[in-house]
Amino acid sequence: MLTPAVASYVAVRRAAGYVFKSEDSLLRSFATFSEARGERFVRASVAIEWAGLARSVSHRARRLGMVIRFVRYIRAEDGRHELPAAVFGAEKQPRPVPYILSDDAIQQLIHAAAQSGYRTLRRDTYSTLFALLACTGLRVSEALHLRFEDVGPDGLVIRQTKFRKTRLVPLHDTARAGLARYLERRRPYAPFDDHVFVSLRRKPLLLHDVETAFQTAVSQLELPRGTGRARPTPHSLRHAFAVRSLRTCPDGRDNITQHMVALSTYLGHCKVADTYWYLEAVPELMQSVADQCERFVTGG
């Protein structure tokens, strides 16, 4: 039966360190779907039919991709399982073009947040949050999960993040001073909550609150649309940090390799390839890549 095979496969993947929460649910759904049709083995036609129940092509591709990986696992013991073809295309879609904020735009954005709304803690909260995102490259969720104990003399401790990793993010003296000023005002405002960033409700900030405040500040600046009609979002501050860091990368293969590995670790990327993706973000970096390639080809 397929259900026990799915349970075995999920157990192996989790033992290897994968969370496998949504995958577990979907593969169990596939097993039930197949067994309802009297199938004891994976049939390519049934797998494609089940995956095709998803509304979007990308979701169909993802569902079928899960079945394909599952079949590769169980075929090692029983070749009667059929391996479906990836008829819905690639699972991973091209990453959207990022909106890269200039240094001037970031300063204006922080200033706009500091002047937005009533003269309450809200101004300090969002101006400090946006400044912290810009100078550290943190994910928004990482900043919202910060607790008092995570702010130390060596920097910020980012605990159990997107890939269940914990890392230390150093802070520049100016960033540490700005965060200290904010905390001095914030602590008495919500003394029974230890989240660094809180709302006027005296509760932890929600992602929706951050996005609303960010777009309010952006609307005041009337920033132009980016390449491919990209628009600025709170995550644009992380993009800007990564690009700014790459622009300062020293020449030389060894220096570039060390710089990329360090930046990948700093940003909390699971794969260094995710960091190299930023080389495509702005024309200046692409031009630098082209120049380096030309010098390599010509023997320079």
Cβ within 8 Å of residue 284, ≥6 positions away: 247
* 99 in catalytic set: no
- State the average pLDDT for the chain: 85
Closest CA to 170 of 198, 131, 138, 144: 138
The predicted pLDDT at position 284 comes to: 61
Q: Give the tens place of pLDDT for each residue, 53-64.
A: 999 998 999 999
Percent of the chain with pLDDT over 70: 83
Closest CA to 114 of 237, 216, 231, 233: 216
CATH fold for the domain made of 98-300? hpI Integrase; Chain A (1.10.443)
Q: Active-site residue among 80, 162, 172, 187?
A: 162
Q: Which amino acid would we find at residue 216?
A: T
Cβ within 8 Å of residue 134, ≥6 positions away: 101, 106, 110, 237, 240, 241
Q: Active-site residue among 13, 60, 145, 238?
A: 238
* 182 in catalytic set: no
Q: How confident is the model at residue 252 (pLDDT cuts 50, 70, 90)?
A: low
Q: Give the tens place of pLDDT for each residue, 22-41.
A: 899 999 999 999 999 999 99
- DSSP H stretches of helix in the chain: 2-15, 21-36, 44-51, 57-74, 103-115, 121-136, 140-144, 173-186, 207-221, 236-247, 253-267, 272-276, 283-297
pLDDT score of 116 more than 60: yes
Domain boundaries, the chain: 2-74, 98-300
Q: Cα 187 to chain center, whole Å?
A: 29
Work out the average pLDDT over 265-293. 64
Q: Give the tens place of pLDDT for each residue, 172-197.
A: 999 999 999 999 999 999 999 999 99
Q: Which amino acid would we find at residue 138?
A: L
167: which strand partners? Answer: 158
* 18 in catalytic set: no
Q: Cα 41 to chain center, whole Å?
A: 37
* 269 in catalytic set: yes
Q: Active-site residue among 111, 159, 235, 259?
A: 235
**Own/partner pairs, 13-22, CB within 8 angstroms, 24+ separation:** 19/164
pLDDT score of 75 more than 60: yes
Q: Active-site residue among 9, 126, 266, 278?
A: 278
Q: Active-site residue among 139, 186, 239, 244?
A: 139
Least confident of 30-39, 146-155, 237-246: 237-246
Q: How confident is the model at residue 110 (pLDDT cuts 50, 70, 90)?
A: very high
